[in-house]
Amino acid sequence: MRREAPHRLADYGPLFFPAMMLIVFFVVPFATMIAVSFFQRQQGGFYVPAFELANYQRFLSLFFANVLGFSLMLAIAVAVCCVVLAVPFTYLLTRMARKVQVVWLVALLSVLSLSEVIIGFAWSTLFSRTAGITNLLVMAGLMSEAKALLPSFGAVLTGMVYQAFPYTVLVLYPALVRLDPTLTEAARTLGASPVKAFFTVVVPALRNTITATLIMVFIFALGSYLLPQILGRPQHWTLSVLITDQAIYQSNMPFAAAMAVFLVLVTLGLVALTVIAGRKGEAA
Amino acid sequence: MTSALSKIYFFLIGLFLALPLIVVAGVSVNAKQTLAFPPKGFSPSWYGEIFLNPEWRNALLASLTLAILSAALAVAIALPLAWFLWRRIAPWANIFQLLGVAPFTLPPVITALGLLTFWATTGFYGQPWTAVVSHAIFFVTLPLVTLSLGFTAIDRSLVEAAATMGADDRTIFRTVVLPLILPYIVSGYAFAFVLSLNEYIVAYMTVGFIIETLPIKIFNALRYGYTPTMASVTILFVVTAAVIFSLVARFGDLPKLLGAMSSDGK
């Protein structure tokens, strides 16, 4: 059927419910949060309408700068690790038989859907002294005594890479499925080894996809709020952890909201970058 | 040589993905209440504990109820929207597509905090139904993306034929579109259901002080030390997700669903 512009009011009928839900329960809450970020905090966890920038001024402290710097650094590290691991993996996956692909996709989706609580618990078990991976190393005679590997920065990074890896593969998958196989075939015919063909043909052809994926995984990692708490020390806490902490345990909603608004601005800036990277990719 | 290398690479990635789950599965069958691996003794009793211990059973029921209802509401929001966007030329309506994708793209803490301030301001904070609405909005992206994809796969001439024969929009939707879009409704529902089951932060910020869902229960239990039931619940969740996604793959086209998922959704 030809798509037509809506003529009568009744034509807008299907839009009514979704539009109402999204406006009332997403746009309005978002606006509420922005408003609260300017409110004044009262003792006892309440806040009164006001317009003050004090909540934003708190950003200008060394402590906050450290948390922000650490959050960004951690998210960059996670994004780089994931992309480095996932690009060859996804490339090889798309060249496999469809049945094998489906099995891997089911496994990746299952891990991706796991709660951060569960991922945190699973890794804290794996890194624990009594039930951890070091017990296997002791059995193999590589270590003399089992020890706990957490809390540590390595544990936080591993847990977050685990969480973001399936996401990275699924973001790369569509682009790599559509990659023209004749590109690598041509390189192979001309005598390049498969590894060389991958690095000299596939990776350059995917430059923009890889950039966009890095930014998306970076945003995904910025959202991690439990793993730094479960697997790390307080100095490994990220902005997301801090927002939760202020909102729930310190009952300082205005400050939490101000940090959230700041995080949105950072995220939106990065999404804009992704879109620009995507546009360039189409033009090229 | 190269194919051997890629096999090793796939094995290592598979090991990385499976290792924490293998250890948790091992821990979940310990005979005594200890955190030990390799397990000491064998006992499946920690799986029974999920259903027999009233605290864990209530958390399981709360999670299931929340996931069933919120996934249904998410589909109810996404279906008419996707239908309208496919049926009509209304560029300004794309703003709602964007709004539907936003909650899932932004860091989850932001959506959670927005909903928390909203429910607190409107005075509904703590009501169980607020969690259903919150999850439905948070996960509406998933059915919206699968359904938008499903609609693009429908041959418009089928719908045109029905219109020529005198069917109105309502009849066309019920007799032609709905049967064709049904597999996408099911997969959209399945994605939203599994993710809602596992979701922590939005549930915690909206009803965390009144209702314990399973992820909230695990996290609360984790702060007071270790119980093997956490391990058995974890394995139950992994198996549930794997079964549901296998069913989606069995009755739908998973590579296609994922192939468009990211390009449309992101």
Q: Kindly list the domain boundaries of chain A, sorted by start residue.
A: 62-115+150-283
**Residue-wise pLDDT tens digits, A181-229:** 777 778 778 877 777 877 888 888 888 888 888 888 998 898 888 899 8
Average pLDDT, chain A: 83
Cα separation, B126 vs B210, in Å, equals 6
Q: What does the block give as tokens for A106?
A: 């089911």
- Short-list B190, B100, B180, B258, CA closest to A19: B100
- Read off the amino acid at residue B159: V
When CB atoms are compared, the residue of B84, B160, B237 closest to A114 is B237
Instruction: Give the pLDDT band (50/70/90) at residue A79.
Output: very high
What's the CATH number of domain A62-115+150-283, 3.40.50.10420, 3.20.20.140, 1.10.3720.10, 3.30.420.40? 1.10.3720.10
The mean pLDDT value for B101-127 works out to: 88
Average pLDDT, chain B: 85
Question: Scanning the structure block, which residue is given the tokens 């009952």?
Answer: A251
Q: Pick the more confident residue, B256 or A238.
A: A238
Task: Please tell me the predicted confidence (pLDDT) of residue A126.
Answer: 85
How far B218 CA lies from chain A's nearest CA (Å)?
Answer: 7
**Residue B264: predicted pLDDT:** 37
Please state, for a pLDDT cut of 90, what percent of chain A lies above it. 17
User: Is the pLDDT at B266 greater than 70, yes or no?
Assistant: no
From A4, A121, A133, residue closest to B222, measured CB to CB: A121
**Residue B70, pLDDT score:** 96
3-state secondary structure A26-45: HHHHHHHHHHHCCCEECCCC
Mean pLDDT of B124-133: 89
List CB contacts of B71: < 8 A, sequence separation 6 or more.
Answer: B136, B139, B143, B189, B190, B192, B193, B196
Per-residue pLDDT averaged across B18-32, rounded? 84
Give the ipTM of the model, two decimals please. 0.84
CB contact under 8 Å between B120 and A253, yes or no, is yes
Note the pLDDT of residue A284: 46
From CA A260, how far away is CA B264, in angstroms rounded? 26
pLDDT at residue B261 above 70? Answer: no
The domains of chain B are located at 1-43, 46-265
- pLDDT attached to residue B69: 96
Query: What pLDDT does B260 receive?
Result: 47
Domain B46-265 sits in which CATH superfamily?
MetI-like (1.10.3720.10)
Measure Cα distances from B78 to A15, B41, B75, B146, B239 in Å.
10, 49, 5, 9, 27
Contact A271 B133 (CB under 8 A): no
Give me B137's structure tokens.
């909005």
Residues of B within 8 A of A132 (CB-CB) are: 23, 37
A135, B38 in Cβ contact below 8 A? yes
pLDDT above 70 as % of chain B: 95
